Amino acid sequence: MREKLYGKFLFNFLAKDRNNTAAVMEAGFGYVVPGIVSDKFDSIKAAAEKVVELKSVTDTVSVGLGGGGNTSNWKKVLEIAAASNPGHINQPFETATYATGYLDGNDIPKQLVNALVQPTGEVGKIKLANSGKVLLVEDFVEIAVSLGLMSIKMMPVKGTQHLEELIYLTKIAANKGIRGVEPAGGIDASNIKDILIGVKDIDIAFFMPHIFGSTIDKDTGETNPAKVREILAKVEGL
């Protein structure tokens, strides 16, 4: 992935089109992975065309599940990726290894596939998004590493409500060799600093909050560059 803020942090914002992508990238000083969500498109073709459009100004686009992490959209995300080579895709843990193998087997350039899990309200445990099965973080991360997964997404973290769980997951993931952790849900300018402070001393390759609702203009559907700048300003000099 691209250059990271303080060698670690990236930020995932949605982008409506090419111009919005360029504006968001500029507002985020380049520490941005712009994205789309699959449920906003009626067809694979339309979504793939949007990815190609956004990639005209950036090397990596993230394709999200949409619908608040609706795991039933996993296959749609995979088909979009196969048609457009976005660089980063979101999957529930249960399909992440299949997605990686499917894309590799169809000669798609290497994609970073994350594995979605949910917080449980108890530090040291996570819940699988599809099955609802609860696992110890250590056991889960061991499985993820053995399967060759590179990044774990935790959603919904509800801002800082599950921050201690997120910090614990990030520590264990980093210790076991997972490259990245990606929190999502309720993250905005009011809590981004607390979240990053919580993990700033953990030696992990990347930590990428997904920040959607709080930055999107409800009238235009665009991510507001001023909101992006506000978030980056909150973590300046961290």
Residues 167-202: pLDDT tens digits?
999 999 999 999 999 999 999 999 999 999 999 999
CB atoms within 10 A of CB 126: 25
**What ranges in the chain are assigned the alpha helix state H?**
18-27, 44-54, 74-84, 93-105, 137-146, 163-176, 192-199, 225-234
Residues whose CB is less than 8 angstroms from the CB of residue 230 and which lie 6 or more positions away in sequence, other chains included: 189
Average pLDDT, the chain: 96
| Joined tokens for residue 216 | 């999107």
pLDDT tens track for 12-52: 999 999 999 999 999 999 999 999 999 999 999 999 999 99
Q: How confident is the model at residue 1 (pLDDT cuts 50, 70, 90)?
A: low
pLDDT of 63 reads: 98
- pTM of the predicted structure, to 2 decimals: 0.96
The answer on pLDDT for 68 being more than 80 is yes
The answer on pLDDT for 5 being more than 90 is yes
pLDDT of 104 reads: 82
What value does the mean pLDDT take over residues 127-156? 96
Decide: helix, strand or coil at residue 18.
helix
pLDDT of 105 reads: 72
Closest CA to 215 of 68, 20, 19: 20
pLDDT of 238 reads: 85
CATH class for the domain made up of 11-234: alpha beta
